[in-house]
Amino acid sequence: MNKGRKTVLNSMIRQIHCVVVSLLCGVAVSTACAESPIRPGDRIAIVGNTFADQLRIHGYLETMLLQQWPDNPVAIRNLGWGGDMLNARDRPTNFPNEEETLTAHRTDVIIACFGMGESFAGEDGVQSFQAAVDAFIKSLEGKQYNGKSQVRLILVSPIANEPLGKLTPRHEQRNSELSAYSQAMSEVAIAAEVPFIDLYQTSRYLIDERVGPNFTTNGIHLNPYGYWAVSHYLFRDLVQDDLASVQPPWRISVDAADLTVQAHGIDVSDTARTEAGLTFRATELIAPTLPPPTDEDVPPQLHHFRDSMTIANLPPGTYELAIDDVSVATANHDEWARGIIIDTSPAHQAAEALRRAVNDKNLQFTYSWKALNQVHIVGERKKSPSGRALPAEVIEFNRLAEKRDANLRDAIQRETRNWRVSRIEL
């Protein structure tokens, strides 16, 4: 097979694989629950292992959920704890009771991420894990943390094990075990009519694509890029019955010859030709996508999560796109005709600022919920000035988290901006 035909075939296989994974993820959720797992205005608590805990410091999933319903945003508290398992969730002395925290947050829905730590028990531990999942589901029956309705539950499987050479000598065996535990969780969820999201299959597919950076630091703990990638799929499964309003990324296509424009995600008006190129005004109808935290090329199946612009029939030369006089992208006429990723615009910078605000809110809550120095709580410094001040400081940090929550609502903006494409001399 020649190189060109092989490249085309591989591209077709990747596209088909992507569709299959998306369908599998959708089936995993919809089989267990007819409604969208997350709804506008939900007050959400995330519990579970290191995967859950680290969601709070990257902020991609929470930012996407906030952008989904700007007029009625969700509110999230992350109670994840590194190393947690369903039957091993130890906490320090005098640590706040989880039910009290869930009640204080008026929790509507719990996203529970388990199975990674349990999977180290191997095939022999699958039945015990199933029993633990079933007991966990039953433990939430009748609980009304929001004071009006039974709390809803969403179960999330562990991710796959990424092969990283000497760091992961047993990755094939580990993936066999992780697959078994994910399947076990799925069976319990379906029987209990609880939504289940299979991140094992999704992450296994992403990890098997060797284009782009690694997803994990050690095979099982996602790095920032891994959280960016996996959060896109997790987000879509969480709002899977609201997919009609889950808009694809911005897609702008301009014909420089006749000034016709096709656009999705923004509304284009006042298109005009200039001596150096063209200009138009664009009103943002949906939020921009968050750029990946890497300078490396991302795999082909992740391209459709990124905003892009195509300009056909530009005269030969190099052209710069500026939005509100901010330089965003520079490429030659052939590159513009093929399409350019747009992810450094003022709107994208605002989305990144929102993500940083999300992370700051989560940090304030962590300070209020997970005191970092136990010696001031139960140790020798309990009666010191700093120890005596700690309860009031905890209350203040919680107040700051609540205030940050309110501020996030105002940080979701849609603007009308001036776009300009101009030929430049290099």
Lowest mean pLDDT among 147-161, 236-250, 340-354: 236-250
- Asked if residue 168 is part of any domain, the answer here is yes
Burial of 118 (0-12, 13-18, 19+ CB in 10 A): buried
Q: Which residues contact 56 (CB under 8 A, 6 or more apart)?
A: 46, 62, 78, 80, 359, 362, 366
| Containing structural domain, residue 189 | 20-243
Residue 193's CB is within 10 A of a number of other CB atoms, namely 11
Q: What is the pLDDT of residues 272-307, one digit of tens each?
A: 999 999 999 999 999 999 999 999 989 888 988 999
Provide the pLDDT confidence category of residue 366 given band limits of 50, 70 and 90. very high
Q: What is the pLDDT of residues 180-211, one digit of tens each?
A: 999 999 999 999 999 999 999 999 999 887 78
Counted domains in the chain: 2
Regarding whether 233 and 84 lie in a shared domain, the answer is yes
Regarding whether 265 and 376 lie in a shared domain, the answer is yes
Q: Are 226 and 164 in contact (CB under 8 A)?
A: no
Regarding whether 276 and 217 lie in a shared domain, the answer is no
- Asked if residue 86 is part of any domain, the answer here is yes
pLDDT beyond 50 at 233: yes
| Domain end position, chosen among 243, 268, 297 | 243
Lowest mean pLDDT among 122-126, 136-140, 411-415: 411-415
Residues, the chain, total? 426
Regarding whether 253 and 159 lie in a shared domain, the answer is no
- Asked if residue 6 is part of any domain, the answer here is no
- Asked if residue 365 is part of any domain, the answer here is yes
pLDDT at position 96, please? 83
Task: Report the chain's mean pLDDT, rounded to a whole number.
Answer: 88
Bigger pLDDT: 181 vs 25: 181
Buried b (16+ CB within 10 A) or exposed e, 309-327: bbbeebeeebbbbbbeeee
Tokens 């990283």 belong to: 164
- Strand 196-197 and strand 251-255: pairing? unpaired
Mean pLDDT within 370-375: 69
pLDDT beyond 50 at 89: yes
Q: Are 365 and 78 in contact (CB under 8 A)?
A: yes
Regarding whether 188 and 225 lie in a shared domain, the answer is yes
| Domain end position, chosen among 188, 218, 243 | 243
| Domain end position, chosen among 190, 216, 243 | 243
0.85 exceeded by pTM: yes
Regarding whether 265 and 238 lie in a shared domain, the answer is no
Mean pLDDT within 131-143: 98
- Asked if residue 391 is part of any domain, the answer here is yes
Residues 299/303/307/311 CA torsion (nearest 10 deg): 110
pLDDT beyond 60 at 9: no
pLDDT beyond 80 at 26: no
Distance CA 352, CA 64 (A): 11
pLDDT at position 31, please? 41
Provide the pLDDT confidence category of residue 32 given band limits of 50, 70 and 90. very low
Distance CA 234, CA 403 (A): 27
HSE-up of residue 175 (Cα within 13 Å, Cβ side)? 18
Regarding whether 230 and 252 lie in a shared domain, the answer is no
- Asked if residue 4 is part of any domain, the answer here is no
3-class DSSP state of 404: helix
The single-letter code of the amino acid at 383 is: K
Regarding whether 31 and 174 lie in a shared domain, the answer is yes
